[in-house]
C-alpha cells in the first residue's frame, strides 16, 4: 500500500514535508505539472513501490486547496464504497474478483467470496457487529466477518436472503446499490457478457425490503448505477450510465416509490469530457449537492442538486473513477474508488495508481452518514 500526497492551489508551487502516523512524504506540488513523491509508511501490511503522474487543474472560480491521497493498494475494479462510522472504517468491493475490503486505521484487510463471479455491494446490517449484506451475481447473502484478518469470515449460502433476483435473466448481475433510511436496499442490475461488456437494456432497479422481498422500480435499463437521496428524501437521484445523464425523481421513501423523472445533469453537455467517459457512482453532501465519478474520464464533479450546474471539477490521477462516498470522523473525506479494468500495459504505465482508493480532503464540504440494511428474522447479533 502506498501514498501520494499532493495539494492543489491556483497559480502556486508548493513543497511540503509531511509526517502523519509514521507516514513521511516528500511532496512536490505544482499546478499543471506531474507530481513525483517518495514516502515511507510504517506498519503497512503490503508495502508496494509507487510512482504517480497527475494532471493538475484548479477548481473553477476557487482558490481552494485540497489533497488527493491514495490510501490502499490497487485492485482490479474497486467499487461500492461504504463508510461505517461505528467502526470508523471504509468498506468496498472488487467487482470482478469478488472480494470485500476493509480499510481501518491505515490497515487494509480483505474477505474473498468464493461462490460468486461478481460482487456489487457491501452494506452493514443494522443492529449487528460483524454482519453485512452482500450482493453477488444475482444473489443476496449475509457475510459474517470482523474485518481484523484476511479471509476469516464466512457466508452461509444455505441461508441466502435472495437466491436469484432475476431468474429469467441468466447473465444479469448486481451492480450499484444503497440502503434508504428505512433500511431497505435499492439495488440496480445489468446484463453482463462473457467479455465483461454490457448488453442493453437488460438491467433493472429493485427495492429489497427487510424481509428480502424485492420489487422492480425501473426496468429496461442498461447500466443501473449511482443512486442518492436528498436530505428530506423527497428527491431521488439516479444514473443509468449508458445514457450519460442523472435523473431526479419525486420520491416517497415511506411507500418506496419514485415518479416524475427529470434530467438534472447531462455529461455530453460538457465540452472537455472524453467521449468514452460515463457517469458511474454518485454521492451527496450535506448541502444536497451531488458528487459524480466519471469513469474513463478521470474526473470528479460537484453538481448543484437543484439545477445541475457544475460547481467543482477535480481532475484525478487515474481515468477509471468508479464511485464515491464521504467518510472520516467528520464526514469531510471524499473516498473515490478506481479501476484498472480495460487499461492497456501502456496506459497502466502512465496511470500506475489505477485500482486504488483515493481520499480527497480539503473540499470544504461534508457528507452525511450512509444507511445500513435492516434485516429481519434471519440474522442474530
Binding-site residues for substrate: 175
91 in Cβ contact with 66 (< 8 Å):
no
272 in Cβ contact with 283 (< 8 Å):
no
Best CA proximity match to 203, nearest among 256, 140, 253, 138: 138
Q: How far is it, in rounded angstroms, from Cα 294 to Cα 282? A: 9
Strand pairing partners for 273? none
Best CA proximity match to 246, nearest among 305, 205, 158, 312: 305
Q: How far is it, in rounded angstroms, from Cα 29 to Cα 19? A: 16
Strand pairing partners for 58? none
280: annotated active-site residue: yes
Q: What is the DSSP letter of 59?
A: P
Across the chain, which distance is largest between two alpha carbons, in Å? 59
Residue ranges of the annotated binding site for a divalent metal cation are 79, 225, 280
- The neighbour count for residue 235, using CB atoms within 10 Å, is 20
Indicate which residue of 84, 137, 240, 280 is catalytic. 280
Dihedral sign for Cα 327, 315, 311, 5, please: positive
Beta strand spans in 105-197 (E): 107-112, 119-124, 131-136, 139-144, 154-155, 172-179, 185-192
Alpha helices, H only, the chain: 345-350
Q: What is the DSSP letter of 362?
A: -
Residues identified as active-site: 280
Amino acid at each position: 500500500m502506498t501514498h501520494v500526497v499532493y495539494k492543489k492551489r491556483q497559480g502556486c508551487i508548493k513543497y511540503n514535508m509531511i509526517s502523519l502516523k509514521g507516514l513521511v512524504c516528500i511532496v512536490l506540488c505544482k499546478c499543471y505539472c506531474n507530481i513525483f513523491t517518495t514516502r515511507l509508511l510504517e506498519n503497512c501490511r503490503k508495502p508496494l513501490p509507487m510512482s504517480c503522474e497527475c494532471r493538475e487543474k484548479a477548481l473553477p472560480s476557487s482558490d481552494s486547496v485540497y489533497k488527493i491521497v491514495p490510501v490502499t493498494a490497487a485492485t482490479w475494479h474497486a467499487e461500492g464504497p461504504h463508510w461505517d462510522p461505528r467502526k470508523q472504517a471504509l468498506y468496498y468491493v472488487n467487482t470482478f474478483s469478488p472480494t470485500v475490503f476493509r480499510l481501518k486505521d491505515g490497515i487494509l484487510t480483505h474477505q474473498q467470496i468464493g461462490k460468486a463471479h461478481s460482487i456489487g455491494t457491501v452494506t452493514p446490517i443494522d443492529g449487528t457487529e460483524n454482519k453485512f449484506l452482500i450482493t453477488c451475481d444475482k444473489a443476496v447473502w449475509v457475510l459474517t466477518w470482523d474485518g481484523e484478518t484476511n479471509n476469516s469470515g464466512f457466508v452461509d449460502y444455505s441461508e441466502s436472503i435472495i437466491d436469484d433476483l432475476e431468474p429469467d435473466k441468466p447473465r444479469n448481475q448486481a451492480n450499484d446499490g444503497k440502503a434508504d433510511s428505512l433500511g431497505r436496499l435499492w439495488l440496480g442490475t445489468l446484463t453482463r457478457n462473457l467479455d465483461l461488456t454490457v448488453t442493453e437494456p437488460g438491467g433493472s432497479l429493485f427495492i429489497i425490503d427487510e424481509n428480502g422481498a424485492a420489487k422492480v422500480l425501473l426496468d429496461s435499463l442498461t447500466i443501473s448505477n449511482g443512486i442518492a437521496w436528498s436530505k428530506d428524501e423527497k428527491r431521488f437521484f439516479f444514473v443509468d450510465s449508458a445514457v450519460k445523464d442523472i435523473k431526479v425523481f419525486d420520491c416517497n421513501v415511506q411507500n418506496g416509490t419514485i415518479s416524475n423523472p427529470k434530467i438534472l445533469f447531462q455529461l455530453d453537455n460538457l465540452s472537455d469530457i472524453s467521449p468514452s467517459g460515463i457517469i458511474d457512482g454518485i454521492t451527496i453532501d450535506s448541502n444536497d449537492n451531488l458528487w459524480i465519478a466519471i469513469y474513463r474520464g478521470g474526473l470528479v464533479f460537484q453538481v448543484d442538486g437543484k439545477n445541475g450546474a457544475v460547481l467543482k471539477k477535480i481532475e484525478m490521477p487515474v481515468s477509471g473513477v468508479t464511485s464515491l462516498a464521504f467518510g472520516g470522523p467528520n464526514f469531510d473525506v471524499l473516498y473515490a474508488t478506481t479501476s484498472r479494468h480495460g487499461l492497456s500495459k501502456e496506459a497502466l504505465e502512465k496511470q500506475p495508481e489505477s485500482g486504488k482508493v483515493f481520499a480527497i480532503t480539503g473540499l470544504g464540504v461534508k457528507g452525511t452518514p450512509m444507511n445500513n440494511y435492516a434485516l429481519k428474522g434471519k440474522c442474530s447479533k
